[in-house]
Structure 1
Amino acid sequence: MREFAELYPFGLDDYQLEACHELAQGRGVLVAAPTGSGKTVVGEFAVHLATGRSRKCFYTTPIKALSNQKYHDLVDRYGPDRVGLLTGDTSVNAEAQIVVMTTEVLRNMIYAASPTLGNLGYVVMDEVHYLADRFRGAVWEEVILGLAESVQIVALSATVSNVEDFGEWLRTVRGEFSVVVSERRPVPLFQHVLVGRRLVDLFEGVAPTAQEVPAERMAKVNRELLQVSKAEASRVRDDSRRPRGRSGRGKDRPGQGSGQFGGAAHSRFAGRPTSRGEVAVVLDRAELLPAIYFIFSRVGCDAAVGQVYNAGITLTSRAEAAQLGRIADKHVAGLSVADLEALRFEDFRDALMAGVAAHHAGQLPAFKAIVEESFATGALKIVFATETLALGINMPARTVVLEKLVKYNGESHVDITPGEYTQLTGRAGRRGIDIEGHAVVLWQSGMDPRAVAGLASRRTYPLRSSFAPTYNMAVNLMATLGRERARDLLNQSFAQFQTDKSVVTAARTGRRFTADLRAAVEAAQCHLGDFMEYAQLRERIAQLEATSSRARKAQHAEAVSDSLGALTPGDVIHLPRQEWVVVLRTGRKNHRDAEPWAQVIAGDHTVLKLQPHDLRGPVEPVGRVRIPKDFSLRERRDRRALLAAMSAKLEELDPAVPDLTVPTDDDVAREIADLRADLAAHPCHECPDRELHAVEAARALRLEREAKRVEVDAVARANSLAVQFDRITAVLEELGYLDGDVLTDAGRMLRRIYNELDLVAAECVRRDVFADLTPPQLAAVLSTLLYESRPTRDAVAPRMPDAASERAQSELRSVWREVGLLERKHRIDRGREPDIGFAEAAWRWASGQDLAKVLLHTGLSAGDFVRWVRQVIDLAGQLAAAAGPGDLRRTCLIAADEMRRGVVAADLTED
């Protein structure tokens, strides 16, 4: 420990020493501490132990940028010969004693029983709270459950409120495991609100040496802020009494979120908002730079850079500007002049040298690397960033600014949570550089300072598992463990652990229901007969009358929606009024889980946009015609040619008109009549106190239902993951991936495919959907298994680049539909719908087109474009390995090689 501690310029904190001691004693350790408090020191001690004991150490991170950063840190300490890097895209010195990797790489190694795992003694899992991520979180649990018992795990987590639960689970599945928690920040954090150009403390009476914000019950809000809020509210009330012009409505628009953090009450008398340039000047004069300025919008971050730079604000000295210029030039040395022009590098570089830059997921990784290195030097003064910066790489600042406390979550604008606030502001205060950190919230019209104080002083960030079995996980577990051990492993997951704890609570609730039920049944006693029997007859009649029609309509509506969502451009369907029509475009309103729509053209050239409520019944294509790539609705010639093709197809098929008759409820009506007769004949029907008994009987029946619901819920939750696993294996058996407990050749192929639509991809390989495609065509089709469109108002519908790729994608969608029907049969959530939004971009890039031309046609940012290209390359590599020797393998490898060029190749090296 003494030897290790001497490697650091600062003394180690008590929690760091405690965690290192536990690790040295042979125990696993979970460290939960605030952002920026030095948790990684414990992970680095695991590396130190491994080098001293001649064991291997794997250092895993959730994102490639963080892996890259940690790799360079460890190379600086141990030298390039002893450190390796594996990120899927990059493989450097893979058999080294110390290997930094993304968590997915380690998961894949475990499933493949890789010899690289030999002599592994330690695994560091940085940012382990990522296991709550609904898309990737399962990987962390797979690794924790799959590592050999001899491996010591160091789990590093942000502060979470249920850390003891997580630690208890780790002890259950890994044996000896210590939990070390620290709430103390090594650099004190002070909270402010920027009102106009004036910084006002959020809390009153906080001593300058404070290490933490006050507890919620002790937090005393600055009276000056309360007065600002009160004065603003008074002005708003006065304004509301004034005439508002001829309409009387005024021009104010309501905000979004709850309103407690601003935006709910706007007034032109509330004061002009502080501009981003003004914020930069205030922070500079207060010596609060460098700062990270969080804006929950990529477009907003880029716009903010332009606003500050175009205002003529320069935050750097000449020496700092020159240093930043050199860093920028170094990172883009491998890019062509044409690529740099397409990326508007000179604009980026000029703003950087003035001390301003943006950092978000839409940026080119090389640009992000420039920003990260520049910020680490202290020469870059303000970085406008989205929240993703707070979840990954180490970029501490003196100050963190939050422009708003409301963000868009993909569906609506919501208030940020206390956990998110803590994570964001945790970047403020650089250990060893700053004596204190500062969090600055910009005043918003309608803001409640008490709500902001509560947000800053609460520590509620529960860790919830997102673990769930997938097809790929199922075949890998079956191959390595067998069915019964696989089910046991799933029942050991943190997800099941949390579920089981909730089952105990449910059982306690069930016992309370049972006692209340007994009392209600006694109160409903009738001297004429069994009143509970009579009450059950009444309830059954009411249920049938209330639900039969609704259930039938809901089932019918679901069938209609599913049929509409399954349509593809070119399908020929029948509508009662328009008769035969051709589908032109399809999509979903706003996002993938919303209701589907389809644009169609009828024989009289009428164009309609169909939604589920427009249809009397499900629609079923009777045939398909090809829509030319250059088809235009505006051109009458194009419309006539398409409709002629539809007529020819109908003449060839001679299909019958679908029967849309909706079934009646005759059987239900007869049952209701029979029940009414039984009710009239029941002895209790003549009781003078019938309605008084009925009140207590209804209460008893309600309690009985609740008790049964709790019981059923408890049974369903117990072993719930194992039940999901059984359903998944049933699908796999039906499709031939499993033969009982044995993997078939198809099952062994599926083991190599790690994709959200893994089973669809595997079925496409088996059915030769990708056969005879050129590498660019294959890239286009593979992209539909990966890409997820962002909500957009763009009216231009995406399309496949040519006839061959369109045919293959149509076959892929048919496979997706078939798999979806099987999933419905076995009660499994259906996989997301394939998305053709990136197909043309993938095809263009794989065809060798210039970056500027590709970006012009995609409308994507350079960073998003590179990210999706990388994923296509990764999937092509998986399919090459899964398919084995043959034409598909060759095409996959060629496609991957042809896409790994220019900015993509440069960024693979960079990142």
Structure 2
Amino acid sequence: MGPGDGPGPADSRGPQLTAFTERLAFDLDPFQSRACVALESGHGVLVCAPTGAGKTIVGEFAVHLALAAGTKCFYTTPIKALSNQKYTDLVAVHGADSVGLLTGDVAINAGAPVVVMTTEVVRNMIYAGSPALDGLSYVVMDEVHFLADRFRGAVWEEVILHLDPAVRVVSLSATVSNAEEFGDWIKTVRGDTTVIVDDHRPVPLSQHVLVGNRMFDLYDRSTQGAARKGAREVNTDLKRYIKHRMLTAPDRFVPDRVSDSRSRGRGRGHRGGGGSRTSRPDVVASLDRDGLLPAIMFIFSRKGCDGALAQCQRSRLSLLEPHEAARVDEIVDRHLSDIAPADAEVLGVEQWRAGLRRGFAAHHAGLLPTFRHAVEELFAAGLVKVVFATETLALGINMPARSVVLERLVKYNGEAHVDLTPGEFTQLTGRAGRRGIDVEGHAIVLWTPEVVPEQLAGLAGARTFPLRSSFAPEYNMAINLLGRMGLDGARELLHRSFAQFQADRSVVGQARKVDQARIRLRKTDAQLAELAAARGVDAPDTEDTDDRSANGFLAYIDLREDIRRRERDLKFHRRVENTRSIVEDLGALKKGHVIGLHGRRHRGLAVVLEPAAHGVDPKPLVLVEDAWCGRVDQRDFVNPPQVLGTMRLPRHPDRSTGRGRRDLASALRATGIEMPRGRGNKRAPAADDAELIRLRTELRAHPAHRLDPGDQLFRLAEQRNRLLREIVTAEREIASRTSTLGVTFGRIVDVLGELGYLTRTGDTVEVEHAGRLLGRIYSESDLLVTECLRAGVWEGLSHSDLAAVVSAMVYESRRDSASGVDSVPGNPRLRTALTETVQVWQQLNEMERRHRVPTTREPDTGFSVAVSLWSSGRSLTESLAAAGLAGQLLSPGDFVRWNRQVIDLLEQIRISVGPDAPLATTAARAVGSIRRGVVAAELG
């Protein structure tokens, strides 16, 4: 057990913990016991432990304590899937009357003493002053490390900061390296909190690499013992085998994916290998042969997961016995009971069932929720042996496996493909090893040439994944803070955030650096003064650096610095001008021009086969005299390309064959054009610069110029300049870190004031009616939604048209750009409303840019037609087809997910505008029309 504080272990347990453990089929681990003892003693707790260690037991004990005391407990999670699962688990223990569920668009028994909910729901309750908070004694924050999420993480901090001090917060986190820092912050803002850190995995984890059909341990067995845990070495057999395979068959491996070999006829237990690539069915068969099933194979794309499932379905691989397949049918039939027969075909029910009957399935956000729930139940029952999943499955959902397979160590983060972090690697592989079933878990990485064993070992062995706050002020947050606690109180709360806590700690370190640098600076100044006097030059005036003697030694040092700075500036400007000239001359090259290449990649004469296309980075196609053919750009030139001559070329020169390229190269050499020597004119940029000439003249005339440049006086002066730069840099860092939150908040307040959401008189702020409306809209586009409501842009719309325009506030295309109004066909009233909405957005963006705050994202109409049809009563097939025609290839799971987000925002609008408003009636009708069929079938 790692560090912690607070009450002692199990021997001090109270009567409630004793009663709680009596119904468990296992003994508590020390960290669980210690956390539970702390809870019963009246402390809050922060528990940081590895995935699968059993942290949720502590949360379940908080539920037990609340029920025993006749109070309430909220159990919060970051995602609806985890909320659904936790709701099911708690109902099984405490009964449906005692447990409720709130996930924005789903409300079940909301008045129960125990309510499971997503974290946003409890945040919204706090801001609304909901009576549901009365009698609340515990809030469990499962997966609390999610506060690092850059999109939604601020919600966790808001809840922790706003909850009544009497509420005990039970924070459950995966292992993070700065758990003590996080715990210190929670103690600061929540009071008495016991921090418990446990690094022990109840089921040990072994690391492997699968190369072709051969499985290797990542580490040498001799270095895997606890005594040498910190000095584990990469398996030499693994390195040797990879080197051998790369030398003997380098073309056998594809670095970016595991392929579909489409190798039919390979039954269960086939060893794979022998082919040019490793197929997913071969990987599964290899795992089955080695007794490593059930397994989760993480593939970081929905398309990849579906493709892996299709490959297994095309193979003859089957992992279930007939009686197991029959049990699968029973469970699947139960989950499909709410699916209309007319929707079965478009949902691919039979194909999905066929995979389940053979023991494999996909799991990702694009699947229908009913499908995902069935997969989770079947996997937990041992009836699904392999799940191809995206990383969403790693976030708390209880689907432990004997082994976890990572197909790649790179994932798409929404903006770019990036390497997995040590924390992500640990979270994913933590699913391996079923407690009470497996002796050890297995983490397996599929080898491709991009996988370097030493780097993988560093990733697997890393223990540094700190928790960083993502807290930042936003419109809804700002208006609610101001309404509840005024301007001073809002600023004080921002100062108490974990983001500011981390910044302040960093500032403490920076301030210490400044103090130490100033001490060293004073010593250096004293040494400088002494040495300068001994050398017969004016003593340096260190007290007033802006009014130094022209003959002083520091003035001489300043001259040297000015000269260096001027030389750097001139060099930079020459490089910029040179690059601009290269780009211009490349763009001006014509077919047949002969130029010289002096670059690192290619050298020699080259003839232009195709001029460059117009653009900021022109790349003409050239052929070099060594017969290489390709496009060159500015990186291939030190100086602008010089046209050395011209060469007659055929209308369509043959560059696609080796013989054609060789003939062209021979003709180029036969032109007699010679390659110029060197790289062209290298005129010194400083040769005729008047300012540099003046500075150098003053330097030579200075009395200190007679000193030996190697004199210790100069070394001390250089040291002094380094200290000054260090101080300036640290002070700039301090200023930026301590003011970021406050500056952003101030700018947001200015925007809200200009728009009339609040009135400010000095340090007094009054929230207006429009501000109270904004305070009830919890959306990424909260201010845009509220502005449209104020402007009446959506008044008079039909319920289906209102659903369509509201969808543009929540929907995000899985493409680089949002769909515009032009993508919405027909219906003039809807198009007018969407056009006016975009106009409001444009005006808002102009104001946001003027105030230098993050801009609200553009409305995206990519889902508008689909939700409008569905709201009008059209079929799932028609609605999905409409999305396809709009350029949005939606899966059924996406369709359901976006519809539920539309419902959530419609409900917010209905509540915000008041029950008597016509728009509230329209919103309620829109909600009812959307919540049907597959959209309504949440829990399966």
CA positional deviation for 1:468:
0.9
CA positional deviation for 1:127:
0.6
Report the counterpart of residue 579 of structure 1 in structure 2: none
Kept after mapping to 2: 8 A contact 1:496/1:720: no
Report the counterpart of residue 831 of structure 1 in structure 2: 856
RMSD: 3.6
Q: Is 1:738 paired with 2:754?
A: no
Q: 1:362 is matched with which residue: 348, 362, 366?
A: 366
Quick one: which amino acid aligns to residue 413 of structure 1? H
1:758 and 1:852 mapped to 2: Cα distance?
Answer: 32
Quick one: which amino acid aligns to residue 888 of structure 1? L
Kept after mapping to 2: 8 A contact 1:63/1:392: no
1:795 and 1:101 mapped to 2: Cα distance?
Answer: 32
Alignment map for 1:138-157 (pairs within 5 Å): 138-157=154-173
Deviations 1:299-347 (A, max 9, x none): 1111111111211211111121111112112112112112111111110
Q: Is 1:311 paired with 2:315?
A: yes
Q: 2:934 is matched with which residue: 895, 903, 908?
A: 903
Kept after mapping to 1: 8 A contact 2:255/2:448: no
Distance 1:841 1:531, change over 3 A: farther
CA positional deviation for 1:842:
2.4
Kept after mapping to 2: 8 A contact 1:679/1:685: no
Quick one: which amino acid aligns to residue 487 of structure 2? R
1:447 and 1:99 mapped to 2: Cα distance?
Answer: 45
Quick one: which amino acid aligns to residue 3 of structure 1? A
Q: Is 1:867 paired with 2:887?
A: no
Kept after mapping to 2: 8 A contact 1:233/1:446: no
Q: Is 1:179 paired with 2:195?
A: yes
Quick one: which amino acid aligns to residue 496 of structure 2? Q
Report the counterpart of residue 707 of structure 1 in structure 2: 727
Partner secondary structure for residue 187 of structure 1: coil
1:677 and 1:415 mapped to 2: Cα distance?
Answer: 47
Unaligned runs of 5+ in 2: 1-16, 258-272, 533-538, 541-547, 577-612, 619-689, 884-888
Kept after mapping to 2: 8 A contact 1:229/1:446: no
Quick one: which amino acid aligns to residue 870 of structure 1? R
Quick one: which amino acid aligns to residue 397 of structure 2? I
2:816 and 2:794 mapped to 1: Cα distance?
Answer: 30
CA positional deviation for 1:405:
1.9
Q: 2:838 is matched with which residue: 805, 808, 813?
A: 813
Q: 2:284 is matched with which residue: 274, 280, 283?
A: 280
Alignment map for 1:46-65 (pairs within 5 Å): 46-65=62-81
Partner secondary structure for residue 230 of structure 2: coil
Q: 1:113 is matched with which residue: 125, 129, 146?
A: 129
Report the counterpart of residue 604 of structure 1 in structure 2: none
Kept after mapping to 2: 8 A contact 1:534/1:679: no
Quick one: which amino acid aligns to residue 35 of structure 2? A
Kept after mapping to 1: 8 A contact 2:410/2:418: yes
Report the counterpart of residue 625 of structure 1 in structure 2: none
Q: Is 1:529 paired with 2:559?
A: no
Distance 1:281 1:482, change over 3 A: same
Q: 1:295 is matched with which residue: 299, 302, 311?
A: 299
CA positional deviation for 1:291:
1.0
Unaligned runs of 5+ in 1: 240-249, 257-268, 554-608, 615-674
CA positional deviation for 1:8:
1.5
Q: 1:4 is matched with which residue: 4, 10, 20?
A: 20
Distance 1:113 1:703, change over 3 A: same
Distance 1:857 1:530, change over 3 A: farther
Find the structure with the greater CA-based Rg. Answer: 2
Q: Which moved more, 1:27-36 or 1:774-783?
A: 774-783
Q: 2:747 is matched with which residue: 711, 727, 731?
A: 727
Deviations 1:447-466 (A, max 9, x none): 33222222222222211110
Report the counterpart of residue 852 of structure 1 in structure 2: 877
Q: Is 1:225 paired with 2:247?
A: no
Q: 2:119 is matched with which residue: 81, 85, 103?
A: 103
Report the counterpart of residue 782 of structure 1 in structure 2: 806
Report the counterpart of residue 760 of structure 1 in structure 2: 784
Quick one: which amino acid aligns to residue 913 of structure 2? A
Distance 1:223 1:683, change over 3 A: closer
Q: Which moved more, 1:532-541 or 1:501-510?
A: 532-541
Report the counterpart of residue 429 of structure 2 in structure 1: 425
Distance 1:798 1:319, change over 3 A: farther
Quick one: which amino acid aligns to residue 72 of structure 1? T
1:736 and 1:702 mapped to 2: Cα distance?
Answer: 50
Report the counterpart of residue 687 of structure 1 in structure 2: 702
CA positional deviation for 1:489:
1.0
Q: Is 1:347 paired with 2:360?
A: no
1:746 and 1:277 mapped to 2: Cα distance?
Answer: 59
2:509 and 2:493 mapped to 1: Cα distance?
Answer: 24
1:546 and 1:442 mapped to 2: Cα distance?
Answer: 50
Partner secondary structure for residue 912 of structure 2: helix
1:458 and 1:37 mapped to 2: Cα distance?
Answer: 19
Report the counterpart of residue 100 of structure 2 in structure 1: 84
Partner secondary structure for residue 137 of structure 2: strand
1:434 and 1:359 mapped to 2: Cα distance?
Answer: 23
Q: Which moved more, 1:336-345 or 1:781-790?
A: 781-790
Kept after mapping to 2: 8 A contact 1:334/1:906: yes
Quick one: which amino acid aligns to residue 713 of structure 1? E
Distance 1:251 1:441, change over 3 A: closer
Partner secondary structure for residue 176 of structure 2: coil
1:401 and 1:497 mapped to 2: Cα distance?
Answer: 38
Deviations 1:508-534 (A, max 9, x none): 333455466664886895974367678
Identify which of structures 1 and 2 has the higher relative contact order when contacts are C-alpha pairs closer than 8 Å and 6+ apart.
1
Report the counterpart of residue 595 of structure 1 in structure 2: none
2:419 and 2:841 mapped to 1: Cα distance?
Answer: 37
Alignment map for 1:68-467 (pairs within 5 Å): 68-205=84-221, 217-235=230-248, 272-445=276-449, 447-467=451-471
1:720 and 1:341 mapped to 2: Cα distance?
Answer: 53
CA positional deviation for 1:546:
5.5
Distance 1:158 1:798, change over 3 A: farther
CA positional deviation for 1:234:
3.7
Quick one: which amino acid aligns to residue 195 of structure 1? V
Q: Which moved more, 1:788-797 or 1:388-397?
A: 788-797
Kept after mapping to 2: 8 A contact 1:530/1:684: no
Kept after mapping to 1: 8 A contact 2:819/2:861: no
Quick one: which amino acid aligns to residue 377 of structure 1? A
Kept after mapping to 2: 8 A contact 1:235/1:270: no
Distance 1:223 1:116, change over 3 A: same
Kept after mapping to 2: 8 A contact 1:780/1:800: no
Q: Which moved more, 1:76-85 or 1:506-515?
A: 506-515
Partner secondary structure for residue 292 of structure 1: strand
Distance 1:233 1:513, change over 3 A: farther
Partner secondary structure for residue 785 of structure 1: helix
CA positional deviation for 1:442:
1.7
Report the counterpart of residue 23 of structure 1 in structure 2: 39
Quick one: which amino acid aligns to residue 310 of structure 1? R
Partner secondary structure for residue 392 of structure 1: coil
Alignment map for 1:641-656 (pairs within 5 Å): none
CA positional deviation for 1:889:
1.7
Partner secondary structure for residue 388 of structure 2: strand
Distance 1:446 1:59, change over 3 A: closer
Report the counterpart of residue 629 of structure 1 in structure 2: none
1:717 and 1:75 mapped to 2: Cα distance?
Answer: 46
Report the counterpart of residue 605 of structure 1 in structure 2: none
Partner secondary structure for residue 178 of structure 1: strand
